[in-house]
Amino acid sequence: MATETTDTLVVPSAQAHTGQGLGTGNPADAFVIEPARTRTKKTPRRTRTNFEMLAWLFMRLSGVVLVVLILGHLLINIVLDGGVSKISFAFVAGKWASPFWQGWDLLMLWLAMLHGANGMRTVINDYAEKDSTRLWLKLLLGAATVFTVLLGTLVIFTFDPNI
């Protein structure tokens, strides 16, 4: 029986992005979850910016840099030279006496926080179904991110070894 089971419209695969159906012509499509961020009638045909594409590109570029920064950070702080045993205020003071490590940590802080915040934004968009829940979670995320980035930046720039 090839009767309609839902109001999902079957469209050719070339039009699958319109959200009017999955386009394979298979009646079982009615039970399959639609692709994420499917274009709907409400989706503007043109947006002012390429924000989502830039965010996608940023994740890849920052990710590659973070592999070097974070694995280097782990290697020096908790793998080599006795592991975590050596970490103390004096160890931090020794590292931040060098502009190289100050710059390393500053770049790592900014890239990791922005990479992580954008990842969390994606997770919130995927799982929080209510508009208001998404809004509040993203506002909280934004506030926490700005606070943490500014705090960390302030700490690196105002560090005083003779405190």
- Contacts with other proteins by CB under 8 A lie at 28, 31-33, 60, 63-64, 66-67, 70-71, 74, 78-80, 82-85, 87-90, 92-93, 109, 112-113, 116-117, 119-120, 123, 144, 148, 151-152, 154-155, 158-160, 163
**Minimum CB separation from other proteins for residue 53, in Å?**
12
Alpha-carbon distances, residue 156 vs 22, 144, 151 (angstroms): 51, 18, 9
**Minimum CB separation from other proteins for residue 142, in Å?**
13
**Minimum CB separation from other proteins for residue 130, in Å?**
20
**Minimum CB separation from other proteins for residue 155, in Å?**
5
Cβ distance to other proteins smaller for residue 7 or 48: 7
- Cα separation, 55 vs 79, whole angstroms: 32
The answer to whether residues 38 and 15 touch, using CB atoms and an 8 Å cutoff, is no
Q: What are phi and psi of 112, to 5 degrees?
A: -65, -40
User: Could you identify the residue written with the tokens 């179904």?
Assistant: 129
Cβ distance to other proteins smaller for residue 55 or 93: 93
Q: What are phi and psi of 22, to 5 degrees?
A: -90, -15
Task: Give the distance, in angstroms, between the CA of residue 92 and the centroid of all CA atoms in the same chain.
Answer: 28
**Minimum CB separation from other proteins for residue 123, in Å?**
6
Cβ distance to other proteins smaller for residue 9 or 140: 140
Cβ distance to other proteins smaller for residue 67 or 139: 67
User: Could you identify the residue written with the tokens 């029986």?
Assistant: 1
Alpha-carbon distances, residue 103 vs 71, 77, 85, 93 (angstroms): 16, 16, 24, 14
